[in-house]
Structure 1
Amino acid sequence: MLALDPSKKLSFNKTIADGDLVIVYERHDTMKAVNVSEGSVFQNRFGVFKHSDWVGRPFGSKVYSNKSGYVYLLAPSPELWTLVLSHRTQILYITDISFVIMYLEIVPGCLVLESGTGSGSLTTSLARAVAPTGHVYTFDFHEQRAASAREDFERTGVSSVVTVGVRDIQGKGFPDELCGMADAVFLDLPQPWLVIVSAAKMLKPDATLCSFSPCIEQVQRSCEALRMNFTDIRTFDVLLRAYEVREVKNDSMQGHGGSPSQQPPCKRRQTSEGSNKQESISSTIMARPSAEAKGHTGYLTFARLKCSE
C-alpha cells in the first residue's frame, strides 16, 4: 500500500494493527476489504475469524477460522483495491489503468487532473504513481459520489495526495487556478469533446491528455476536437487474455510392455477377468485461456499538446 499518511503507513513488513484496512483473500475472484477491529469477527463459508487473531501478524499471513478453514490477509494495494471497491459507476480495471499511467508518462511529482472520479479505481493508482510529492485533482459532478470517494481515499491512505472537487467539468471546464499546471489530464466523460479546449489550457507544453470512451462515435468527435490544439493523436483498445494454469491427474491402464524403469509410479488393481494390471497415476501441467476473459472495455485516445509557435 502507499506510504503517504504516516498514521496509515502500510508495507509488506508492517504487522497488522487495530484499525488497519486488509484484503481478506479466499481466491483470485473472492476477496473482501475489511477494517480490523479488535472485538469484531469476519464470517465466510470457511467459518468465523476473530479480528483479534489478526492483530500483530504481518501482511500476507495465513489465518484460520474456528472450523480450520483459512484465508490470507493482504495489504491493500491499488490493484487489489480495484477488485474489491464498491462500484458507484463503471470502473477502469488494471489492464487499462496500467496503459494509461504508462502512456501519460506519470511519475512521482506529477500534477494530474481527472474527470470524472466515479468509484475512484483509477484515482487510487494515479495517487501511487505521483506520490510522494505530486498531486491528483479529481472532479465529479455528483456531490454524494464525490463524498463517497473522499471516504474511500481516507480509508486507503491516499487522501494526502488527492483532492476531490464537485464540479460539472463538461459544462464549466476545469478551474482557472490550475491553468498551465497539469502534467497530464484524464477524461472519462459522456461528451469529452466539450472539455478539450479547457483541458488544453490546463496542460503544460508538450504534456499529454487521455480520453476514455466506450463507443467509437465518441472517439471520432473527440479526435475532431483534438486536432486544433493537439498532435500525435492515437486510439487504443487494450485487450487482456488470461490463462488458467493447473495440475491435471492422468490415470491410464498399463499392460506388460516396457521396462519398470520407464513406467511412471503405479498401483495395482484387479480387472473384471481377475488379472492384475498396473494403473499409472501421473500429473500434467495444463494451460488454457480463462473462460472469464474480459472483452472490450473502452477506447483510450491519447494526444500531446502542441507547443506555441
Structure 2
Amino acid sequence: MVLQIEQEKRLSFNRSIKDGDLVIVYERHDVMKAVKVSENGVFHNRFGTFKHSDWIGKSFGSKVLSLKGRFVYLLAPTPELWTLVLSHRTQILYIADISFVVMYLEIVPGCLVLESGTGSGSLTTSLARAVAPTGHVYTFDFHEQRAASAREDFERTGLNGLVTVGVRDIQGEGFPEEFCGRADSVFLDLPQPWLAIPSVGKMLKEDGVLCSFSPCIEQVQRSCEALRSCFTDIRTFEVLLRTYEVRQRILESHPSKDGDSVDYHPCKRRLGCDESERIECPASPSVMIKPCTEARGHTGYLTFARLKCLV
C-alpha cells in the first residue's frame, strides 16, 4: 500500500523538485534534454550555466534563469516528453502510434500487459502510466544489455514499480507459462510476430486484445494468416501524422481606392505606388498557419486482433 501511494505521487508530479529527481530541461519544442538533479550539479547549454541548487524546491513547469539571464523550463518526465529525449537503442514508436495502441488495446488502470520486445522503452513508459496504479507491464527483450539499459531508464523515470523487464526470446520460447490466461493485452514488436501468436493465444484472457507492430506489409500478411485460427476482428492500421506550423507575422494595413483596408506584408509596396505615395499605417499581428515541410512518414503497420471466446 505504501509503494502504491508513493508511486501515485511520483506519477502525478504534484510536488517540488528534489535532489535526485529526473527533469526535462526544455529550451524549445525540438530541443530538450533529460537531466538528473544533484545538489552540486551544473547544467550548461547555449543559454549559459544553470546551477541545480537553484532548481531544488521549485515546482515542475517552473522557468529558471541562467547566470546570463536566459531561461529554460523544468518539466516533469511524462511519457510524451520521455519519448522525445530517451536514448535510442532501437527504432522507437512515437506519440501518434503509441496513443493509438493504448486506445485499441483497451488498457485501463489495473490491467496486466505483456510486451515483446522492450527496445528503447518508449511504448513501455506509456503502457505503465495507463495501467497505474494497480496494474503491471511485463516486457521482454532477447538482448540482455538492452534489457539492462531499459531497467535503468525505468528506475530513472520512477516506473520500476509498474514495469518488470525480462530477458527472453519470445519468438522461440513464447511467453512464460506463469501468465497463461492472465493477460488483458499483448503487444508484439518482433521481426517474425507470427511465431509468437500461438503463445499469445494462451496468455490472453477471453476477449483479450493483441497488437502487432510491423514495418513491412509482408509481415502483416503472414501475421494475419496465423491470427485466423484463434482470433477475430482482425484489423490493420497505418497512422500518418501531419504537423502544422503556427507563427505570428506582422502585416501593415493600407486603405484601398474604395475606402476598404487592405493588408500588406511590410516588405512589399502597393502596386503602382512609389515610396512618396505610401501611407504609413500601424502594423497588426496576424497568425499564419502552414503544413510542416518535414512531416514524419510511414513508421509501421499496427495489426489488432481479439481472442475468440470459447463456446
Provide TM-score, normalisation by structure 2.
0.91
In the TM superposition, residue 6 of structure 1 has moved relative to its aligned partner by: 2.1
Kindly tell me the number of residue pairs found equivalent between the two proteins.
300
- Give per-residue Cα distances to partners, 1:99-131, cap 9 Å, x unaligned: 001001000010000000000000010000011
The residue that corresponds to 1:6 in the other structure is: 6
In the TM superposition, residue 263 of structure 1 has moved relative to its aligned partner by: 8.5
The whole-number CA distance in structure 1 between the counterparts of 2:254 and 2:223 is 64
Aligned pairs (5 A) from 1:90-105: 90-105=91-106
The residue that corresponds to 2:44 in the other structure is: 43
Alpha-carbon contact 2:253-2:262 (below 8 Å) kept: no
The whole-number CA distance in structure 1 between the counterparts of 2:52 and 2:93 is 31
Q: Is residue 23 from structure 1 mapped to residue 24 from structure 2 by the alignment?
A: yes
Q: Specify the SS of the correspondent of 1:9.
A: helix
Tell me which moved more, 282-291 or 203-212: 282-291
The whole-number CA distance in structure 2 between the counterparts of 1:303 and 1:263 is 57
Q: Specify the SS of the correspondent of 1:123.
A: helix
Q: Of the candidates 266, 283, 286, which is equivalent to residue 285 of structure 2? A: 283
Alpha-carbon contact 1:170-1:192 (below 8 Å) kept: yes
Q: Is residue 133 from structure 1 mapped to residue 158 from structure 2 by the alignment?
A: no
- Give per-residue Cα distances to partners, 1:136-180, cap 9 Å, x unaligned: 100000000000000000110111111100000011111111111
The residue that corresponds to 1:70 in the other structure is: 71
In the TM superposition, residue 10 of structure 1 has moved relative to its aligned partner by: 5.1
In the TM superposition, residue 252 of structure 1 has moved relative to its aligned partner by: 6.1
The whole-number CA distance in structure 2 between the counterparts of 1:10 and 1:65 is 28
**Residues 10 and 209 of structure 1, relative CA distance in 2, 3 Å threshold:** closer
The residue that corresponds to 1:191 in the other structure is: 192
Q: Specify the SS of the correspondent of 1:220.
A: helix
The residue that corresponds to 1:115 in the other structure is: 116
Tell me which moved more, 280-289 or 248-257: 248-257
The residue that corresponds to 1:292 in the other structure is: 294
Alpha-carbon contact 2:186-2:209 (below 8 Å) kept: yes
Q: Specify the SS of the correspondent of 2:284.
A: strand
Q: Specify the SS of the correspondent of 2:280.
A: strand
Q: Of the candidates 288, 301, 304, which is equivalent to residue 302 of structure 1? A: 304
Amino acid of the structure 2 residue aligned with 1:82: T
**Residues 192 and 115 of structure 1, relative CA distance in 2, 3 Å threshold:** same
Percent of pairs with identical residues: 73
Alpha-carbon contact 1:254-1:279 (below 8 Å) kept: no
* RMSD of equivalent CA atoms: 2.2
In the TM superposition, residue 282 of structure 1 has moved relative to its aligned partner by: 2.1
The whole-number CA distance in structure 1 between the counterparts of 2:278 and 2:108 is 68
- Give per-residue Cα distances to partners, 1:166-202, cap 9 Å, x unaligned: 0000111111111111000000000000000001000
Mark the runs of 5 or more structure 1 residues left unpaired by the alignment.
none
Aligned pairs (5 A) from 1:128-207: 128-207=129-208
- Give per-residue Cα distances to partners, 1:185-226, cap 9 Å, x unaligned: 000000000000001000001101000000000000000000
Alpha-carbon contact 2:171-2:196 (below 8 Å) kept: yes
Amino acid of the structure 1 residue aligned with 2:78: S
The whole-number CA distance in structure 1 between the counterparts of 2:95 and 2:240 is 11
Alpha-carbon contact 1:5-1:158 (below 8 Å) kept: no
Alpha-carbon contact 2:256-2:262 (below 8 Å) kept: no
Mark the runs of 5 or more structure 2 residues left unpaired by the alignment.
267-272
In the TM superposition, residue 34 of structure 1 has moved relative to its aligned partner by: 0.4
Tell me which moved more, 115-124 or 271-280: 271-280
Tell me which moved more, 48-57 or 284-293: 284-293
In the TM superposition, residue 277 of structure 1 has moved relative to its aligned partner by: 3.5
Alpha-carbon contact 1:15-1:59 (below 8 Å) kept: yes
Tell me which moved more, 289-298 or 248-257: 248-257
The whole-number CA distance in structure 2 between the counterparts of 1:256 and 1:234 is 60
**Residues 216 and 4 of structure 1, relative CA distance in 2, 3 Å threshold:** farther
The residue that corresponds to 2:246 in the other structure is: 245
Alpha-carbon contact 2:185-2:210 (below 8 Å) kept: yes
**Residues 91 and 54 of structure 1, relative CA distance in 2, 3 Å threshold:** same
**Residues 276 and 54 of structure 1, relative CA distance in 2, 3 Å threshold:** same
Alpha-carbon contact 1:223-1:233 (below 8 Å) kept: yes
The whole-number CA distance in structure 2 between the counterparts of 1:183 and 1:275 is 74
In the TM superposition, residue 11 of structure 1 has moved relative to its aligned partner by: 3.5
Q: Specify the SS of the correspondent of 1:91.
A: coil
